[in-house]
Amino acid sequence: MIVCLGRIVQDTDADSIPDDDVSTLSESLDLQGTIESGGITGVAGKDFGGLYSVKPLALIKPSGTEDIARVVKAASQTSHLTVAARGNGHSINGQAMADGGFVIDMRSTEENHFKPLTIDGSHYIDVSGGALWEDVLRRCVSMFRLAPRSWTDYLSLTVGGTLSNAGVSGQAFRFGPQTSNVTELEVVTGKGEITVCSATQNSELFFGALGGLGQLGIITRARVKLQPAPDMVRWLRVVYTEFEEFTRDAEFLVTQEEGESFDYVEGFVFSNSDDPINGWPSVPLDPDHEFNPAYIPQTASSVLYCLEVALHYRNSDRPSTVDTAVSRLLERLGFIQRLKFQLNVSYVEFLLRVKQVEEHAKANGNWDSPHPWLNIFISKSSIVDFDRTVFRKMLKDGVGGPMLIYPLLRSKWDSRTSVVLPEGEIFYIVALLRFVPKGPTVEKLVAQNHEIIKWCNKEGLDFKLYLPHYQSKEDWKRHFGNQWTRFVERKTSFDPMAILAPGQKFFKRTHTIKP
Ligand code: FAD
């Protein structure tokens, strides 16, 4: 049957295949799942970024790992077909697309795995690569009162999608990114082989696939570490005028032992103005909170900084106990005392906090418009320069959405994975999460992102793009730096014909296996 598929798609492209050939394709692939024709208007040709669209050959909804392996094997028997795993399509720059190739809808496998395990007294959950983190959260908490340790801010992302990048949020300073919190993967390689891997079994594939941008394999199952889930969270935001004080306090908090710090530490930059999206109104956590600008010192500049922290607690804890713990942690910090906002929310509500933003943005049409986002890891040694030029000058009026900035610790990241980081133990994630209406402004904002990167390069800042996106192999080579050779070796072992994740624009699909 696969040979037959080779004949159908050999030396042709998506445009030349009529829709009714999908039934022939379907027969040839012999899948348990289903197959739909591609098409630029379909889901497989778009992503959250809204900046790119392509026409895939077909969207495959596999029933499980065997189907995925079958599709990859079939593609490998043709001269040119590629395969992209599509998680929830929340990439910005077409990373989950396959122009003229197969797109695999990983969500169709989300129910396949959900199995708790206890190994040497520690708790884990085996989940599907196509599962959404929000479902993993809800099910783990409601069924076992357990939860993964490391998250992303927004949870309508798939397990395989975030593990292919890193998966970062305010818990990463303590537990590392999500890639540091899995112990086993099941992966379909670019050869169509189904392989179980871990730190001790097929370890090159395990570490390579983590942060591997989908280049080495399709993650169909992950074993995720769990911890007891707290019931409640005290969620706080405190405001700073001086960048040096903001970073000093944030760095202090992320370098303390568990029990001596908050359980979540993030931060953001906002404009010193009454702009409803970019300014003071973006800080309070509750409509009842009032941000009184009279408390901002006269000396404040065009932008201000907000440290966002959270402390877990149990329903059985007395409010006074939580108050005392929070006061003790806040007492060493140098924020503007009268610009402090706090709220008690359930743990699940806290982790699903961006869902509300999504609902609001969907209602006003902003969710479906383009998102020229930029994510960068910047080393501590470069962050003051970045603030001075980028936040205080270039972006002083905001980006129409959050401008996140918070410190992370390199020692919590496993250097054997494919994730690329700047030098130094402390580095910051900077996320410019632009929400913009459709129109010519989008090109201007993409150009501004380029300008920021260009400036970082010119000034010699120590940085790496997170969720990277480059157009040429040369740029990728620069991005990977001294990890390039290792990455190419892994690619050659696990996807020698460069079939996987073509939307990352890394390697050109080859016809024959390179030695
Ligand atoms: P997709 O966009 O579908 O895929 C991303 C890449 O991974 C593609 O190359 C794809 O081919 C590959 N891929 C997908 N599934 C698999 C798989 N199972 N196996 C192998 N490769 C696969 N990131 C953070 O770290 N922290 C955040 O707080 C955060 N917040 C976000 C909030 C929003 C609103 C959005 C839109 C994105 C956010 N992200 C965040 C970024 C997010 O982690 C990435 O965009 C991620 O790639 C999206 O996951 P996805 O499941 O939609 O993957």
Segments in 370-458 forming alpha helices (H): 380-386, 441-458
Sheet containing 34-37: which strands, arranged edge to edge?
34-37, 58-61, 102-105, 83-86
Using pLDDT thresholds of 50, 70 and 90, give the confidence band for residue 21.
low
48 in contact with ligand 1, CB cutoff 6 A: yes
Q: How far apart are CA 215 and CA 495, in angstroms?
A: 7
Domain extents in the chain: 28-106+493-504, 114-228, 232-465
Which of 152, 159, 381 has the alpha carbon at shortest distance from 251?
Answer: 381
Q: Ligand 1: which atom is nearest the Cα of residue 358?
A: 34
Closest C-alpha to ligand 1, atom 8: 96
Residue 19 a catalytic site member:
no
The amino acid present at 283, given as its one-letter code, is: V
Under 8 Å between Cβ of 209 and 197: yes
Q: How far apart are CA 96 and CA 85, in angstroms?
A: 6
Q: How far apart are CA 186 and CA 281, in angstroms?
A: 45
> What are the respective helix, strand and coil percentages of the chain, to the nearest 5?
35, 25, 45
Please give the distance, rounded to the nearest whole angstrom, from the Cα atom of residue 502 to the centre of ligand 1. 15
Please give the distance, rounded to the nearest whole angstrom, from the Cα atom of residue 87 to the centre of ligand 1. 7
Which helix or strand (DSSP H or E) is residue 264 part of?
strand 264-271
pLDDT at 513 over 80: no
Closest C-alpha to ligand 1, atom 36: 90
Sheet containing 303-313: which strands, arranged edge to edge?
340-346, 232-240, 303-313, 264-271, 403-409, 426-432, 374-379, 463-465
Under 8 Å between Cβ of 193 and 475: no
Q: Which of 126, 153, 204, 423 is catalytic?
A: 153
**What is the pLDDT at residue 43?**
87
89 in contact with ligand 1, CB cutoff 6 A: yes
Which of 357, 251, 254, 259 has the alpha carbon at shortest distance from 311?
Answer: 259
Work out the percent of the chain whose per-residue pLDDT is above 90.
Answer: 88
Closest C-alpha to ligand 1, atom 33: 154
Please give the distance, rounded to the nearest whole angstrom, from the Cα atom of residue 458 to the centre of ligand 1. 29
Q: Ligand 1: which atom is nearest the Cα of residue 504?
A: 9
**Planar angle of CA 336, 340, 342, nearest 5 degrees:** 165
Using pLDDT thresholds of 50, 70 and 90, give the confidence band for residue 4.
very low
Q: Which of 266, 308, 387, 495 is catalytic?
A: 266
| Residue of 65, 86, 90 to mutate, ligand 1, most atoms within 8 A of C-beta | 90
Q: How far is CA 243 from CA 179, 266, 392, in A?
A: 30, 14, 10
Residue in this structure with the two tokens 């009162």, named with its chain if needed: 145
Under 8 Å between Cβ of 415 and 503: no
Q: Ligand 1: which atom is nearest the Cα of residue 129?
A: 18
Using pLDDT thresholds of 50, 70 and 90, give the confidence band for residue 27.
confident
**Planar angle of CA 410, 413, 416, nearest 5 degrees:** 120
Under 8 Å between Cβ of 406 and 428: yes
pLDDT at 209 over 70: yes
Using pLDDT thresholds of 50, 70 and 90, give the confidence band for residue 41.
low
Of 2.120.10.30, 3.40.190.10, 3.40.462.10, 3.40.50.2000, the CATH number of 232-465 is: 3.40.462.10
Mean pLDDT lowest for which of 62-76, 375-389, 436-450?
A: 436-450
Q: Which fold has domain 28-106+493-504?
A: 3.30.43
**What is the pLDDT at residue 3?**
41
Residues 298-311 have a mean pLDDT of 97
190 in contact with ligand 1, CB cutoff 6 A: no
Which of 484, 504, 480 has the alpha carbon at shortest distance from 422?
Answer: 480
Please give the distance, rounded to the nearest whole angstrom, from the Cα atom of residue 88 to the centre of ligand 1. 7
pLDDT at 61 over 70: yes
Strand pairing category for 182-189 and 146-148? unpaired
Residues 20-41 have a mean pLDDT of 78
Residue 479 a catalytic site member:
no
Under 8 Å between Cβ of 501 and 213: yes
Closest C-alpha to ligand 1, atom 27: 152
Which of 152, 202, 156 has the alpha carbon at shortest distance from 172?
Answer: 152
Residues 269-297 have a mean pLDDT of 96
Q: Ligand 1: which atom is nearest the Cα of residue 153?
A: 28
Q: How far apart are CA 401 and CA 431, in angstroms?
A: 10
Please give the distance, rounded to the nearest whole angstrom, from the Cα atom of residue 503 to the centre of ligand 1. 13
**What is the pLDDT at residue 439?**
66
Closest C-alpha to ligand 1, atom 7: 161
504 in contact with ligand 1, CB cutoff 6 A: yes
Residue 266 a catalytic site member:
yes
pLDDT at 8 over 90: no
**What is the pLDDT at residue 17?**
47
Partners of 218 in beta bridges: 188
- What is the rounded average pLDDT for all residues in the chain? 93
Residue in this structure with the two tokens 């405190």, named with its chain if needed: 238
Please give the distance, rounded to the nearest whole angstrom, from the Cα atom of residue 427 to the centre of ligand 1. 21
What's the distance, CA 510 to chain centroid? 29
Q: Ligand 1: which atom is nearest the Cα of residue 501?
A: 11
152 in contact with ligand 1, CB cutoff 6 A: yes
Q: How far apart are CA 188 and CA 195, in angstroms?
A: 6
62 in contact with ligand 1, CB cutoff 6 A: no
**What is the pLDDT at residue 1?**
41
Residues 40-62 have a mean pLDDT of 90
Here the tokens at position 341 are 């906002």
CATH number of 114-228: 3.30.465.10
Angle between helices 65-76 and 2-9 (to 10 degrees): 50
Please give the distance, rounded to the nearest whole angstrom, from the Cα atom of residue 90 to the centre of ligand 1. 5
pLDDT at 515 over 50: no
Using pLDDT thresholds of 50, 70 and 90, give the confidence band for residue 11.
very low
**What is the pLDDT at residue 5?**
54
pLDDT at 223 over 90: yes
**What is the pLDDT at residue 440?**
66
**What is the pLDDT at residue 421?**
98
Q: What is the pLDDT of residues 425-483, one digit of tens each?
A: 999 999 999 988 766 689 999 999 999 999 999 999 999 999 999 988 899 999 999 99
pTM of the predicted model as reported, rounded to 2 decimal places: 0.95
Q: Which of 47, 67, 90, 113 is catalytic?
A: 90
Torsions phi, psi for 29 (to 5 deg) = -75, -25
CA max distance for the chain? 74
70 in contact with ligand 1, CB cutoff 6 A: no
**What is the pLDDT at residue 42?**
82
CB neighbours of residue 320 within 10 Å: 8
85 in contact with ligand 1, CB cutoff 6 A: yes
Q: What is the pLDDT of residues 101-155, one digit of tens each?
A: 999 999 999 999 999 999 999 999 999 999 999 999 999 999 999 999 999 999 9
160 in contact with ligand 1, CB cutoff 6 A: yes
